[in-house]
Amino acid sequence: MSDLTELSLRIICSALRSGEISSRALTQAYLERIERLDPKLHVFLALAPERALEQADQADRRLIEWRRNPSASLPLLTGVPMAIKDVLAVSGFPCTCGSRILEGFMPPYNATVVDRLLASGVIILGKTNTDEFAMGSSTENSAYGPTHNPWNIQHVPGGSSGGSAAATAAHFTPVALGTDTGGSVRQPASFCGVTGIKPTYGRVSRYGLIAYGSSLDVVGVFGHSAEDVAQVFTLMAGHDPLDATTLDQPVPEIRLEAQGASESQPLLGLKVGVPREYFIQGIQPEVEERVRRAIQTLEMLGAEVLPVSLPHTEYALPVYYLIAPAEASANLARFDGIRYGPREQSDRMWDVFRRTRGRRFGPEVKRRIMLGTYALSAGYFDAYYGQAQKVRTLIRRDFEQAFTQVDVVAAPVAPTTAFRLGEHTDDPLAMYLEDVFTLPANLAGVPGLAFPVGFDAQGLPVGMQLMGVHFREDVLFRIAHAYQQATEWHTRSPNL
């Protein structure tokens, strides 16, 4: 095989089992590519090449033993390398959350999703860059410098999981983990031309995820196709006694090809809703055109396309930027220089708190902490946070009503393709507006899947998202897989 880093996850797993490739050769190929190209992109905050190669050797021994005795069990992803967003705890790796306040912090345990994937045989290459505490839409808020988009290094990769999205797009890893609080998997997936899943809230454990907004955060996956992402999602989903927000609900087997479906019309019987509120004034014309063309392709594949309305969509932005900062204000109170990370010195306790938080939190994190603290303060709680929660319920009911008519909702991921680095740095509102199409799914807790549907005139990827019924990620994967079987956008790679 000429270039091991260009292989799909399915082919990698098959080739490892057959002995056509070794895990060491595969891991070495990714590490060499990272060493050669990551200085351009700044994807990784931490790498562990020796540890990864040692794990690869162990995987190769397991694979050899399995070939001698194929009746024995072998974890599905044995020998497969992957990358982890630096907001998830991985024992032996630093976990900075892209912040100076956690500089050098080494968690003594693994996040549940990491444990489940390690049990499935994966090899962890390293930790990827992120907006500080996952607060951002461009990965420019990282205290360790921005990540660049592999399709054009003058542009952002999206955020906050921009490091994991860029790592996947650049073929530094076949799959990567990210998190999505307001669009932080789907928007960078769109900007980087890869596939990314935001699961239903409660489907995947958050234990070991450094919290931003506890009622919004979910752990997601990036890959090159719906098929690749579905494999990893299935292995990490399910109830976790360490996370009380996970639901004890079985994870259905994901059938990418529905039984009895026509080969030419695999989506026959499915209804796709198109919400008028997502095609608004100001959307980049190329984005709208590519998404509408993708919806026409779904129709050609047998789906019935219907107009739907999500009337409270316009309130998602202000609702999110009251609820998420309020939860961040509470969650980030624990970072004070006493228990985690470095400490600014002083003889007085309160000065230690002030200096550590004042000097080591970045400006966006400070902005959101102050917004959230204000929204939670006496005299303002009911008018702001309480009111936002009521409108959040209306947004959820919009989706419930839409899903009485259709199986999924199809919409753009973002109003534009990837913007230039620094373009929105001094305009927080313009940055927040980049998430206007992704926020509603987080507020409603529904699953969302983003995948590429074309390119704009600058050669930057355009993404579409499907949003579905709670816990029906399988339907999203089936539709995206059918689209990807009929098109080739997901097979394109940036020229680095």
Question: Known catalytic residues?
Answer: 85, 160, 184
Cα-to-chain-centroid distance, residue 424: 21
Strands 461-468 and 81-85, bridge-based pairing: unpaired
| 100 DSSP 8-state letter | G
Determine whether 349 is exposed, middle or buried from the number of CB atoms within 10 Å of its CB (0-12, 13-18, 19+): exposed
Residue 387, C-beta contacts closer than 8 angstroms, at least 6 positions apart: 322
| Rounded (5°) CA angle 208-213-219 | 45
Instruction: From residue 475, give the alpha-carbon distance in Å to each of 130, 170, 208, 264, 396.
Output: 29, 28, 28, 18, 19
- Per DSSP, helices labelled H in 339-455 are 349-360, 363-376, 387-402, 428-433, 439-444
Q: Would you say the C-alpha torsion 157, 163, 168, 172 has a positive or negative sign?
A: positive
Judge whether 178 and 164 are in contact, CB under 8 Å.
yes
Residue labelled with tokens 């030419």: 264
Q: What are phi and psi of 413, to 5 degrees?
A: -85, -40
